């Protein structure tokens, strides 16, 4: 195990901890959020952070399957954000 691999593994651990802290902070905004827009924004940020965590998991385990997982979560996150915003705006999702 060379020095470069050790540096990469340390960076991986730091990235895991940092993105997890970011995820927890956006969850705090989801709980606090005074208005509905803040809560939708916090959920959107949490989806993006979850994609980052899954990508990090794929790097750590060296498995390529996690790509499909993050792709599907990216699509689902966008659709759910738009659906929630439309529900607040129009009182209905599909008119």
Partner 1 sequence: MSAEIIGTYAVAVALLIGSIFALVGAIGLLRFNDSMIRLHAPTKVGTVGIGSLLLASMIHAYTFGDGSMHEVLIMAFLFVTAPISANFIAKVNIHKRACDTPPAPPRDETWSTLNVPEADRDIDTSKAG
Give me the residues that bind partner 1 (CB under 8 A), please.
Answer: 2, 4-5, 7-8, 10-12, 14-15, 18-19, 21-23, 25-26, 28-29, 34-38, 40-42, 44-45, 48-49, 51-52, 55-56, 58-59, 62, 64, 67, 70-71, 74-75, 78, 81-82, 85-86, 88-89
Contact 67, 90 (CB under 8 A): no
- Considering the complex, state which of residue 41 and residue 95 has its C-beta at the smaller distance from partner 1: 41
- Least spacing, CB of residue 92 vs partner 1, in Å: 14
Q: Which residues of 32-42 are buried (b: 16+ CB within 10 A; e: fewer)?
A: ebeeeeebbbb
d(CA 27, CA 31): 6
- Least spacing, CB of residue 95 vs partner 1, in Å: 15
Is the alpha carbon torsion for 83, 85, 90, 92 positive or negative?
positive
């Amino acid at each position: 195990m060379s020095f470069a691999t050790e540096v990469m593994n340390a960076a991986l651990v730091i990235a895991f901890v940092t993105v997890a802290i970011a995820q927890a902070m956006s969850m705090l905004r989801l709980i606090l959020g005074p208005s509905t827009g803040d809560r939708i924004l916090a959920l959107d940020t949490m989806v993006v952070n979850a994609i980052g965590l899954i990508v990090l998991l794929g790097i750590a385990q060296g498995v390529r399957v996690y790509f499909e997982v993050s792709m599907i979560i990216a699509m689902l996150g966008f659709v759910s954000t738009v659906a929630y915003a439309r529900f607040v705006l129009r009182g209905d999702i599909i008119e």
